[in-house]
Every structure is written in structure tokens, then in C-alpha cells.
Chain A
Amino acid sequence: MPIDIDIAHVARLARLSLSDTELETYKAQLGVILDHAAQVQSLEGDPQAESVHPLGFVNAFRDDEVRPSLDRGEVLKQAPDTEDGYFVVPPALETE
């Protein structure tokens, strides 16, 4: 089954700014890998449920209690740009 990939759309979804040459290379490589991966469609027999945790867990909840978090100053030290305890980013919305 030839797999048609809209690679530019996929790269946009993944927030990856790639050149046209890079996109073509990845498109070809993904085609080969997906051709192989399409073997999952050959699964025979009873329809299986999608898998869950091997030990059968569903959810783990902790008590709803206030606990100290990591030190804000220490965490923010790792950020490329901060101001007054906030992360600094360029505009997220387009403005007139």
C-alpha cells in the first residue's frame, strides 16, 4: 500500500521548521518505515482491546494536600528569558 504523507502538514502539527529538502528526505524515510509498520494491519483473529498497564492499573490518585513545589528561582534559572518571576516569550497572538 503506497502511503501518501502530507509531510508539510505533519511538520506544522509537530512545530518543526524544516526546509523543503529536509521535508523531502523525511517523507521518503517515513514512507519506508510506514510500509513496514503497516504490517500491524495483518493482525488476525478476534478483535483485541487496546492494551493497558501490564499490572492492570487504572488510575493512581494522591491525597489532595498542599505540598511545597520546587524553588521558583531555581527553576526559572534554567529558562532562556524571564522577568519578574515569569517566562518571557514573543507575541503569541497576531496583533493589528
Chain B
Amino acid sequence: MSLHELSVVEAGRRLRAGETSSVELLEANLDRASRTEAQIHAYLTIDREGAREAASQADADLADGIDHGPLHGIPVALKDNMCTRGIETTASSQILAGYVPPYDATVVARLRDAGAVIVGKTNLDEFAMGSSTENSAYGTSYNPWDISRVPGGSSGGSAAAVAAGSAFVALGSDTGGSVRQPASLSGVVGLKPTYGTVSRYGLIAFASSLDQIGPLSRSVEDSAVTLETIWGHDPLDATSHAGEYPTPSAALEKGVSGLRIGVVRELAGEGYEPAVESGVSGMIDRLSDAGGEVTEVSLPTFEIALSAYYLIAPAEASANLARFDGIRYGLRVDGSTTEELMARTRAEGFGPEVLRRILLGTYALSAGYYDAFYGQAQKVRSAIQSDFSRAYEEVDVLVSPTSPTVAFEAGARVDNPLAMYLSDICTIPSNLAGHPAISVPIGVDDGNLPIGFQVMAPALGETVMFQAAAEVERLAAFTARPILAEVAS
């Protein structure tokens, strides 16, 4: 196996055994990026100089006996909606072109403190609004498994980089499935942690009650160790969890014997590709054979989760994106009054999907419509939380496909916003409830496109979720890699 294909944990083992160095790992990643970027366009910015400096420092520290933990010396990519001091951060929007943050997001600071090497910033749908990266103002990313297809989104650049070997692990953000769906479509592991466990300070906000940062990785163990590096209480985020945190990495070998596994009835049927359904039901059978107590459970409000999401998320976005006004940072289009300047800047700086969601959210919050739309959506959200609570009286984890389909062709859904929104039908309920969920690759379809399996757990249930996810990974024994021809750029 080439250096750029190693897991974080294996790369870390070799580092500590003196078999490789952080500089060597980084150069392997950079070299791989230089041969794959022309095809997949995972990155918006690669910070070669900063990364080389950090890798040399990581090597020097290790030589001095200073070990900062599992991510020490490991090259990491960041979705470009996380602020990085001194490195341009655009959220894939024209309105932030040229913006260089004067501070690091808390997750970035934690990664730096943990000795990680920040390779660069990955592509996303503008402001994380989308399921394909086609809404990026800086061009689409492509799926390493088939470059005519999308990698999913919105964290599609992070998923493509980890799948292609141009990052060992990457961070994404998940508001309605934006880590898990691209992980599923790109054949990597994607995690959305419990709301409030990973600080959102320095994450460019989309929908603040739903946004949560999580890792995309090549193994379940890598996901757990990355999570344990970035999470924890942060006084800079008022929604940050101040209590105890579990240790999910300790549960990876426990297996599923006696574990109660609920199969969500509502996340199957019409709209689900046969290969996805048969892959998922095959895995459920194997979990049962491995000692899991499998039952089917019904969560009826899942049927209206998507509707609630497409009122709540745009409503919050319309408020959060009010800050982009052409005055304090980013693009400015002049006008004769301040209001005209703002309205022109915003109309020019935001792309069509962002404009659509701002209009949708503004409408849902406007006088006369609030009760019928936004208020009602928040009640649905409570009903979804109640459905989850009832289900977790009977089972320990819930399982489903991560996405109803495998990776779709670029361009196939760009003219139909509603069809694009349906990509997230399996992932949205966990965001609305604030619960953790993880996608694990379990195989490929006839076209060699990856299929993802989702494990959901109650709030702060990361330990049992990782316990089940690790077993899914063992049973799937999914070792395939994308066959991506290298092309010098």
C-alpha cells in the first residue's frame, strides 16, 4: 500500500516506529494531489509552505519526545467554511473571495495543538448549501470512483480528497447530511457528532441549530480518534456541551452481540436504488448473524422531516447570511446608498442556490407566514425528537442507508432543486434531533460506485454508535479503492 493510502492510525504507528516522517507523509499527499487535482478538483487552496513548516515541526517534536497524540504529524484537509488564520477562506462563495480570517476556528486551533499538518482548504457547495459541490462558485469537484459523477456534498471536496489519497483525513460540516452523504457517495467514513460537542466557533454559519463539524476518514477508528481530538467544551460557542464526553475509541472491538439494532421502516422503498437496498439489507442480515438483535421500527415523522428541514435551515440561513453586506469584508458592489450597496453586493456575490434559500427562509419567517411554516416546522422537529426517544426505548442504535442512491452524474439534478434535496432524506432526521450518526462504506454497486450504511444513536451515544459502526466495517471488509488514473497537472 502506498504511503498516501494509509489510515491515520497506521501512518501514526509508522511515524512513532521511525519508519516514516511527517514530512514524508505530507510529500506523499502533495504528490498525490498534484496528480489527481486536475481530475477531481478537491481543493480550493493548498498551503504547501505552511504545511511543510508544520510537518517539519511535528518531526522535530517527535524527535524530542513530544507526542501530541493520534493526529501528530498527520496531513489533514479542512472544508473551506472553517476559518484559518492567514489562509483564504471563501465558503466557495464569490462574496468572500479574498477573505483572509484574522483568527482560527476552534477546530483548527485544536488540530494545530494536536500536531496535525493542515494541507489546505477543500471545495464545498457555496455556504454548504447543496448535495453535489455543483453550487461552488469555484467549480465542481468530481468523484474519484467515476469522474463523470459528483462526490456528493456539501463536503464533497473533503470526501474526494480522502477517497483519492490527497488527505489522510478531512473535516467537513454536516447541517442536513453534508458529511455523511458525500462520505457515502465517495466510499469513505463520515461522521456527524452530537450537536454541541464540536465547537462551531469559526465555522461560517449556515443553520446554527443544525450545523456540526465532523471528520471524513478512511476508517472508523480514524473517525473516532479525530473526533476525540476536535471535540470538547469551548466557551466561545454558547451551544457547546460542558458536561462529560464519552470515549468512543474504547468501544471499537466490542462487537454487536446482544446489541439492539432498529431498522428504520420509513427509510426504504420508493426512490431507493435496488443496489443500495440490497447492500443495506445484506449488512443487516450479517449484523444479525454476528449476534445483533435486529428489529424493524417505525418513526412516522421521518416522512415530513425533509419538509421541516427545508423551512428551518433556510430560515436560519437567511438570518446568518445577513452579515454579508459588502461593508466589513469580501466583495463590495457600489451603490448610491448603503441599502443599495448591500442589495447589489448580495445579489452579485451569492450564487443561485444561496439566493433561493435566503428568499425561502425570509418568506418562511415573514409576517403572516411564520406560524404556518417556520413555527409548524419547529413543532415537527419536536415530534421527530419524540419519535427518536420512543425508538430508543426499544433499541440501542438505528440503521438505514445513508443516501437513497449512489453517486449521480454531474449535471443530473442541477435544474431540479427538490430532486437534489431528496439526496438528504436519510440524514436530515439526525440533524433535526441533534443526534450523532455515521456513514460507513459497505460495498459497491455493479458500476463500481460505493454504497454507504448509516448508524444513528441518541445524543451523546457516540460510544454505542462507534461500537456498531466498527462491526459494520469489519463485516463489510470494504477494501476497494477508486481506480483513478494519475494525470500530472
Contacts and interface: CB of A to CB of B under 8 A. Distances in A.
Interface of A: 5, 7, 9-11, 13-18, 22, 26, 29-30, 32-34, 36-43, 45, 47-51, 53-55, 57, 59-60, 62, 70-71, 74-75, 77-81, 87, 89-92, 94
Contacts of B339: 15, 92
A37 B373 contact: yes
A62 B418 CA distance: 42
A6 to B, nearest CB: 9
A89 B342 CA distance: 10
A55 B366 contact: no
The 5 nearest A-B residue pairs measured at CB: A54-B434, A50-B378, A80-B332, A17-B343, A48-B382
B86 to A, nearest CB: 10
Given A13-B362, A39-B307, A78 B329 contact: yes
A34 B372 CA distance: 11
Contact of A40 (B326, B359, B376): B376
Interface in B140-174: none
Interface stretch (B20-28, B51-59, B98-106, B445-453): B98-106
B434 A53 contact: yes
Nearest to A57: B239
B343 A55 contact: no
Contacts of B380: 40, 43, 48
Given A40-B377, A60-B238, 5 more contacts: A32-B418, A33-B356, A37-B310, A71-B102, A78-B330
A47 B382 CA distance: 10
Contacts of A54: 194-196, 385, 433-435, 459
A79 B241 contact: no
Nearest to B236: A62
Contacts of A16: 343, 346-347, 350, 355, 358-359
B489 interface: no
* Interface of B, helix, strand, loop or mixed by DSSP: helix
B328 A48 contact: no
Interface of B: 99-100, 102-103, 194-196, 209, 235, 238-243, 301, 303-304, 306-308, 310-311, 318, 322, 325-332, 334-344, 346-347, 350, 355-356, 358-360, 362-364, 366, 372-373, 375-383, 385-386, 417-418, 421, 432-435, 459-460
A55 B241 contact: yes
B396 to A, nearest CB: 18
Given A54-B196, A55-B196, A62-B235, A89 B327 contact: yes
Contacts of A7: 359
A37 B326 CA distance: 32
Contacts of B307: 36-40
Contact of B379 (A43, A77, A79): A43
Given A78-B329, A89-B327, A43 B310 contact: no
Nearest to A43: B380
Contact of A36 (B341, B418, B433, B459): B418
Contact of A94 (B209, B337, B350): B337
Contacts of B325: 15
Name, among A11, A49, A80, A81, the residue most crowded by chain B CB atoms within 10 Å (CB to CB): A80
B310 A29 contact: no
Nearest to A62: B235
B382 A37 contact: no
Among B196, B360, B434, find the residue whose CB has the most chain A CB atoms closer than 10 A. B360
Contacts of A32: 417-418
B350 to A, nearest CB: 8
A70 B303 CA distance: 46
Contacts of B417: 29, 32-33
Name the residue among A26, A54, A77 with the largest chain B CB count within 10 angstroms: A54
